[in-house]
Amino acid sequence: MIPKPASACPTTALHVLKATVSSSTPVVPVTGAKKGIGFAPAHNLCQQFLGDVVLTAQELDIDDLQSICALPDFLRQEYRGLDVLVNNAGVAFKSTWISDHENKLFGTRNVCMEFLPLIKPQGRVVNVSSRKSFVALEDCSPELQEKFRRDAITEDELVGLMNKSVEDTKNGVHRKEGWPDTAYGVTKTGVTVLSQIHAGKLNEQRRGDKILLNACCPGWVRTDVAGPEAPRTLEEGAETPVYLALLPSDAKEPHGHFVFEKKVKQW
Ligand SMILES: NC(=O)c1ccc[n+]([C@@H]2O[C@H](COP(=O)([O-])OP(=O)(O)OC[C@H]3O[C@@H](n4cnc5c(N)ncnc54)[C@H](OP(=O)(O)O)[C@@H]3O)[C@@H](O)[C@H]2O)c1
């Protein structure tokens, strides 16, 4: 049984489970935790994580920076930061590129921008991406593949590419410009590459802090969006995100990788 919320922060979007709020209590926020894959690791972490679990729902809209700000403020005040971030909120398999040309990388990136500066030493960051990021990459033109695979790709370059994907689609030229027919896949390509970039930044800026940041795929999981045919249960889908969230304090790897079924998959 998932515990009842013990306290709530000023916005109704957030619920703190197992709360004994104090600045020394470890804390893990899980975005998009009302249902689906976000709910399962939150439940699991309540049993395994020695601290508080903060669940957010869509009232904390990751696409809207204003809406996100309340949570970092709350974590700063009540916990002096955060120990683990499960960056899960997002959409799955919504549609093809044509009917949904939005690129949802930016919501995941908004969460990273607001939360990463608050992550404590030995913190863990889990960005929920998808194996579809690999499928989309392979369906990109060789030129785009080279850009997405380049070690030195910067965050600005990645944002530029993601914006271009949207523009090219609006202008009806996305195939000609080398993009595959999947907004979801390209979004997740962005999440996987963004994770590599942020891990690199942590290496440069906070090397001694031993923070481990990874992207992962939960597998094809029976959620509202993926549907009843998906083979995995929510519990099974939670396994890799929870594994990455709870990497032991002396772990050095994985970091900056894409992880599926607890194994690193080379980009
Ligand atoms: N299911 C799969 O097979 C599968 C496979 C690979 C990766 N994934 C990834 O796993 C994550 C969770 O997917 P899921 O299958 O669990 O989908 P889901 O059941 O639809 O759950 C998605 C969650 O994210 C929240 N959300 C969506 N957009 C949001 C936004 N802009 N701001 C804040 N919260 C938002 C939703 O909130 P509301 O309920 O309020 O809308 C919901 O709680 C996604 O990142 C998805 O891409 C899923």
Determine which of 88-102, 140-154, 201-215 has the lowest per-residue pLDDT on average: 88-102
CATH of 5-265, one of 3.30.420.340, 2.30.36.70, 3.40.50.720, 3.40.190.10: 3.40.50.720
> How distant, in Å, are the alpha carbons of 4, 63, 168, 172, 190 from that of 98?
42, 20, 11, 9, 18
Rounded average pLDDT over 174-179: 95
pLDDT exceeds 70 at position 99: no
Distance in Å, CA 95 to ligand 1 centroid: 14
Rounded average pLDDT over 126-149: 97
The Cα–Cα gap between 198 and 191 comes to 10
Kindly report the protein residue whose alpha carbon is nearest to atom 15 of ligand 1. 223
- Is the CB–ligand 1 distance for residue 217 below 6 Å? yes
What global pTM score does this model have?
A: 0.92
* Residue 184: active-site member: yes
pLDDT exceeds 90 at position 195: yes
pLDDT exceeds 80 at position 22: no
Rounded average pLDDT over 12-37: 76
Kindly report the protein residue whose alpha carbon is nearest to atom 20 of ligand 1. 225
The Cα–Cα gap between 28 and 16 comes to 10
Active-site residue identified among 179, 184, 220, 267: 184
Question: Who contacts 91 (Cβ-Cβ below 8 Å, separation ≥6)?
Answer: 104, 184, 225
For residue 4, the model assigns a pLDDT of 37
- Tell me the domain boundaries of the chain: 5-265
| Report for 19-23, 166-170, 236-240: range of highest mean pLDDT | 236-240
Based on C-alpha coordinates, what's the Rg of the chain? 18
* Residue keyed to tokens 């005040």: 77
- Is the CB–ligand 1 distance for residue 90 below 6 Å? yes
Kindly report the protein residue whose alpha carbon is nearest to atom 45 of ligand 1. 90
pLDDT exceeds 90 at position 90: no
